[in-house]
């Protein structure tokens, strides 16, 4: 069973707040295709999972995804599926990145997580009639993958020493 400490709960709240704020701030940057937005925050689930722990990150981004869709006024089934897709974005790299100092691993698994998460969200968008699956998946991927591929290894590299120094690192053992 998952046991969360008070510190873990605080991290979840902070991750949820950062992700929800980043979602709200970047949502207006539309690419003009089916009202999809550039998601500069799409790298955050992977970063959070690698640094602060998989389950803490999944809970934090799922909570945040639901908060921000409620705030913009369209929590419908896409909010729940968006939450699931966003959690997958963090789950895959959080579980499969073996060394948080290896940018190749981070990049590869973050992209894989992003693709799987985008597949889930695109399927849901098609199922709900928002956009054809192919259009939704291609648009989501074009928005999310470059940001994730570039931003995730950079953020992990910048934040890892600080997170470790503060005693907040919950990821895999670090190979020096």
The CATH code for residues 6-160 is 1.10.1760.20
> Position of tokens 């005693």?
167
Cα gap 47→103, rounded to integer Å: 12
pLDDT of 69-116, one tens digit each?
Answer: 777 666 666 667 778 888 999 999 999 999 999 999 999 999 999 999
CA 15-18-23 angle, 5° bins: 120
pTM of the model: 0.89
Delimit the domains of the chain by residue range: 6-160
Give per-residue pLDDT as tens, 29-75: 665 555 556 677 889 999 999 999 999 999 999 888 888 777 766 66
Instruction: Please provide the size of the chain in residues.
Output: 176
Structure tokens at 24: 């709200």
């Amino acid at each position: 069973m998952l046991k969360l400490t008070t510190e873990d709960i605080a991290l979840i709240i902070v991750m949820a707040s950062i992700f929800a704020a980043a979602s709200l701030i970047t949502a207006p940057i539309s690419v003009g295709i089916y009202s999809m937005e550039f998601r500069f925050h799409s790298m955050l689930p992977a970063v959070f999972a690698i640094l602060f722990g998989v389950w803490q990150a999944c809970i934090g981004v799922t909570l945040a995804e639901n908060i921000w869709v409620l705030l913009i006024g369209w929590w419908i089934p896409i909010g729940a599926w968006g939450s699931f897709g966003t959690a997958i974005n963090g789950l895959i790299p959080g579980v499969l990145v073996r060394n948080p100092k290896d940018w190749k691993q981070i990049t590869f698994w973050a992209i894989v997580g992003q693709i799987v998460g985008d597949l889930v969200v695109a399927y849901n968008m098609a199922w709900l009639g928002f956009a054809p699956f192919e259009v939704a998946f291609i648009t989501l991927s074009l928005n999310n993958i470059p940001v994730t591929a570039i931003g995730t290894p950079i953020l992990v590299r910048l934040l890892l020493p600080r997170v470790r120094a503060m005693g907040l690192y919950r990821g895999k053992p670090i190979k020096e």
